[in-house]
Amino acid sequence: MMKRFVCAITFVVGLLNAVLVEAGRPRSPEPMRGLTPQEVVDEMGIGINLGNTLDVRNVNKTYWGNPETTEEIVDGILSAGFTTLRLPVTWYPNMGEGPDYVVDTEYLKRVEEIVSWALDRGVYVILNTHHEGHWVIPNYENIDATSERLEKVWTQIANHFKNYGDRLIFETLNEPRVEGGGTLWGEWSGGTAETRDCVNRANKACVSAIRATGSNNSVRMLMVPTHAASADVKAMADWEAPNNDPNVIVSVHAYAPYQFCLTNQDADWGTDTDKRALDNLFEQIHETIVVGMGRAVVMGEWGSQNNGLGNELDRIRHADYYANRCVDYGISPVVWDDGGKFKLFDRRELNWSSRVQADTVLVPLFGQSFALFQETASLSTGAEGDEDGDGQANILEYAFGSDPNDAGDLSLMPRLEVVGGSLTIVSQRADVNVQYIVECSENLASDSWRSLLPIALKTSVLSGIGGRNEVRQEIEVDKEQSYSTFLRLRIED
């Protein structure tokens, strides 16, 4: 609940900044807070990609089936609580020929429009160069031409955004590799010594160009990928920080396990063996990059596609475990959403195509929602039902820490303390994500209840036993609001 409240405050401040810019005032360099890479990654929290949109390999950005991105779409995506938006951008369809490779001004403005919508809501934005593989060719034959063009492209992008604050992050490249190599030269499995060296050289060209533009770009956090953004041992071990730059974060992607996440060959996930495999992956990333190199990590793409096998619960278990393990290791997980098989948010209907999937990804931030719990606990009677017949509604048992499937496990009902202008809800619960709403009435009539709007919220937790903690949520209420005679507590998912 506290995280939601803080997000709301950030949103209002962001809108004020947006008004100043739209009023025609020039954008001055925004403050840079001097955070370390790991502090930035910790703040980035859990993110989501706006995939198959600006990264379409065509001037028509609806060519792959998604609608034009609107402010309402960005609002809808971020309303769930994501704190980072990765914006993949393909530049070459909107770029002139060499030797200057001039990016179309209107396209830069369009990219900036979407970037600003997200930044004005207080989240981080990752801006990159995406599907450019036909000219970003990391081998010795092509690396000089690749590096020269990257320098020119990134100089333009960086100059356009150089006064933006530190919540804008540049990512030099997306999955850089020699395309079409398959197993011949390890396109997705670490590459060769030559291609890994050339990826390092390409990254260095990007970073040097960005830093040379000055202003906030002198210290801006930059995400720099391994070969193909792979978590392969060779790819990570041979990764080099361009110019030994201190403000560089390592970018990796891992759709793991491959058969489950990217094919229709494996519908099941969740055994102890499955979990150990992911544990080993994250341990490998942590030991190689975080411990071995002293670098922070962002998992820029991950997820499992809807492969038509009806395995939603397996995908839920996978996303829950994956997101939590990322957070355990200090890695920001940015889930892939392409509007297709990986769709979480329906950009046409402006709602969640998979509400439970989105909730699962955000569990490390907000705790488990009742919608997710209902799926994993196989409750059939819904929030207001009474699965175990003990007289307590399922959502109440869940909210206050007991098992709705066990009639012998009774939850401890909350108490409401009223002192002066403050109301304090005292409950005992596990790590769940519900909303407490205090309502008042003068006569108990069904249509007389009204919510007391809080002007401040303070939460404290006292550790308990068996996963149940005493949670005290102190709500300060505007003194002009009368409490009436009766109070009640309403629980919503």
Higher confidence at residue 229 or residue 464?
229
Predicted pLDDT of residue 466 = 57
Q: What is the pLDDT of residues 373-402, one digit of tens each?
A: 888 888 999 989 999 998 888 888 888 777
Average pLDDT, the chain: 88
In the annotation, is 151 catalytic?
no
Predicted pLDDT of residue 12 = 27
In the annotation, is 301 catalytic?
yes
Residue 445 CB partners (closer than 8 Å, separation 6+):
none
Catalytic-role residue among 171, 175, 187, 387? 175
Q: What is the mean pLDDT of residues 457-473?
A: 65
CATH 3.20.20.80, the chain: domain bounds: 2-366
pLDDT higher than 50, residue 422: yes
Higher confidence at residue 109 or residue 181?
109
CATH 2.60.40, the chain: domain bounds: 415-492
Predicted pLDDT of residue 309 = 92
pLDDT higher than 50, residue 16: no
Q: Which CATH class is domain 415-492?
A: mainly beta
pLDDT higher than 60, residue 20: no
Q: What is the mean pLDDT of residues 50-63?
A: 97
Q: What is the pLDDT of residues 78-108, one digit of tens each?
A: 999 999 999 999 999 999 999 999 999 999 9
Predicted pLDDT of residue 377 = 87
CATH number of 2-366: 3.20.20.80
> What is the bridge-based pairing of β-strands 332-335 and 47-49?
parallel
Predicted pLDDT of residue 460 = 72
Predicted pLDDT of residue 21 = 38
Catalytic-role residue among 132, 187, 301, 397? 301
